[in-house]
């Protein structure tokens, strides 16, 4: 593809604004596909890398293109690809700002992106690109936290819906704190499809939505007594693990886990405080106020876990990329489950623009806070 170019939203250095640039369209490597991006979704991580990457992702190579969530159509395939074909509609996990990819060609915030074939899932015609774009990082993070052996190590759902795994009684329960988050919305569906009973938390206006995704019980995480109510709801079942989602979710999950004689493991996906609020530009004041709270929050959790004997682990959503579980869940399970309805695209997309130039303002919408929505840029009109 000589001299072909496309547009990308480029980050030249940490803690600076991004700019739209014309870049050379790459050819896919043997196990990669080139995808025309039709929709992309935003994550808190994007803003954290942009503003605080110097602290948390110092090895990021520049120029960088951020973004993890993509849907679109395959326009070229690498010579070793056996599954995907040109023209396939897919959703995929983009690794441009992850240590496994770490190159601008694999970032989601552009019109053409290189994705690894095993990080892509074909979409049924009934699933729109904007809806599908909410799923890839949430699917990866939920899968990692729930099913990887180094995390909660639960039994993953089977590729086909039946028969469901028959778990011994008493019933096996998973607690998913933060059921209205994007990751939680997928985690509830995955745990339910795997045959677990799910207890969850969300704001009251999201309770029905979280129940529809499969949670048996949903409690308001801001109400006093939520820990005791979750513990009571788990009575009579075996709690096999907790997935802590949302800033500050780790401590209440530790308190819940410490109530059971056989301490279940807590998989933590979030920091004690939200990290996507740092400004672009001078950050000395923000860091002075926030970093001690962050370190103090982690220290308090570590002390509590040690004092109460609760095992913990930290979730990194892309860890499944190199694990056979990733292929099972992203390729086999997700493709089948999107067709048979065990996996739906949730939360609903909140379309905040149709151009790459709209991404910075859309990131601001996300960091100011959304409730059970995923901020999406719909590029379906680009290059038609």
Contact footprint for ligand NAP (CB under 6 A): 43-44, 137-138, 141, 177-178, 180-183, 201-203, 206, 221, 245-249, 269-270, 315-317, 370-372, 374
**For residue 255, how many other CB atoms are within 10 A of its CB?**
18
- Give whichever of 57 and 206 is closer to ligand NAP, judged by the CB atom: 206
- Give whichever of 29 and 248 is closer to ligand NAP, judged by the CB atom: 248
Least distance to ligand NAP, CB of residue 77, Å: 28
Least distance to ligand NAP, CB of residue 349, Å: 11
| Segment holding 93, helix H or strand E | strand 89-93
DSSP β-ladder status, 312-314 and 348-351: unpaired
Least distance to ligand NAP, CB of residue 283, Å: 19
- Give whichever of 197 and 374 is closer to ligand NAP, judged by the CB atom: 374
Least distance to ligand NAP, CB of residue 138, Å: 6
Q: How far apart are the C-alpha atoms of 92 and 69, rounded to whole Å?
A: 6
- Give whichever of 25 and 43 is closer to ligand NAP, judged by the CB atom: 43
Least distance to ligand NAP, CB of residue 276, Å: 7
Who's near 191: CB < 8 A, 6+ residues apart? 146, 154, 174, 176, 198, 214
**For residue 132, how many other CB atoms are within 10 A of its CB?**
27
**CB–CB of 363/24 below 8 Å?**
no
Least distance to ligand NAP, CB of residue 40, Å: 14
- φ, ψ of residue 207 to 5 degrees: the values are -60, -45
- φ, ψ of residue 23 to 5 degrees: the values are -130, 160
**CB–CB of 179/188 below 8 Å?**
yes
Least distance to ligand NAP, CB of residue 177, Å: 6
- Give whichever of 60 and 81 is closer to ligand NAP, judged by the CB atom: 60
- Give whichever of 33 and 121 is closer to ligand NAP, judged by the CB atom: 121
- Give whichever of 32 and 46 is closer to ligand NAP, judged by the CB atom: 46
The SS3 call for residue 7 is strand
Q: Torsion angle, CA of 305/311/315/321, rounded to 10 degrees? A: 160
- Give whichever of 245 and 359 is closer to ligand NAP, judged by the CB atom: 245
Least distance to ligand NAP, CB of residue 29, Å: 25
**What angle is formed at CA 97 by the lines to CA 94 and CA 103, rounded to 5 degrees?**
85
Q: Whose CB is nearest to ligand NAP?
A: 246
Least distance to ligand NAP, CB of residue 163, Å: 31
Who's near 158: CB < 8 A, 6+ residues apart? 164, 165, 333
| Segment holding 70, helix H or strand E | strand 69-77
- Give whichever of 154 and 215 is closer to ligand NAP, judged by the CB atom: 215
Q: How far apart are the C-alpha atoms of 352 and 361, rounded to whole Å?
A: 8
**CB–CB of 237/171 below 8 Å?**
yes
Joined tokens for residue 278: 């740092």
């Amino acid at each position: 593809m000589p001299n072909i170019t496309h547009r990308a939203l480029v980050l030249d250095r940490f803690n600076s604004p991004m700019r739209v640039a014309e870049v050379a369209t790459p050819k896919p490597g043997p196990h990669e596909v080139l995808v025309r991006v039709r929709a992309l979704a935003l994550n808190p991580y994007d803003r954290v890398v942009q503003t605080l990457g110097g602290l948390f992702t110092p090895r990021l190579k520049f120029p960088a293109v951020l973004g993890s969530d993509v849907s679109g159509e395959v326009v070229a395939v690498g010579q070793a690809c056996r599954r995907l074909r040109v023209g396939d509609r897919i959703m995929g996990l983009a690794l441009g700002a992850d240590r496994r990819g770490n190159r601008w060609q694999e970032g989601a915030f552009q019109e053409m992106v290189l994705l690894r074939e095993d990080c892509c899932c074909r979409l049924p015609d009934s699933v729109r690109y904007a809806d599908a774009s909410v799923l890839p990082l949430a699917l990866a993070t939920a899968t990692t936290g729930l099913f990887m052996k180094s995390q909660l190590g639960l039994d993953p759902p089977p590729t086909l819906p039946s028969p469901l795994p028959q778990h011994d009684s008493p019933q096996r329960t998973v607690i998913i704190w933060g059921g209205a988050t994007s990751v939680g919305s997928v985690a509830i569906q995955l745990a339910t499809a795997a045959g677990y009973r799910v207890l969850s938390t969300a704001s009251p206006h999201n309770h029905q939505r979280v129940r529809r995704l499969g949670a048996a019980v949903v409690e308001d995480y801001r109400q006093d007594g939520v820990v005791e109510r979750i513990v009571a709801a788990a009575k009579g079942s075996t709690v096999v693990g907790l997935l802590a989602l949302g800033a500050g979710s780790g401590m209440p999950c530790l308190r819940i886990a410490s109530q059971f004689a056989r301490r279940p493991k807590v998989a933590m996906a979030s920091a004690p405080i939200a990290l996507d609020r740092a400004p672009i530009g001078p950050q000395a004041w923000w860091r002075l106020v926030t970093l001690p709270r962050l370190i103090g929050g982690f220290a308090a959790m570590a002390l509590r876990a040690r004092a109460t004997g609760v095992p913990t682990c930290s979730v990194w959503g892309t860890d499944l990329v190199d694990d056979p579980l990733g292929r099972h869940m992203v390729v086999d399970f997700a493709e089948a489950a999107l067709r048979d309805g065990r996996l739906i695209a949730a939360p609903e997309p909140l379309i905040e623009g149709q151009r790459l130039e709209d991404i910075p303002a859309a990131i601001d919408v996300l960091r100011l806070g959304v409730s059970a929505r995923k901020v999406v840029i719909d590029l379906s009109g680009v290059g038609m």
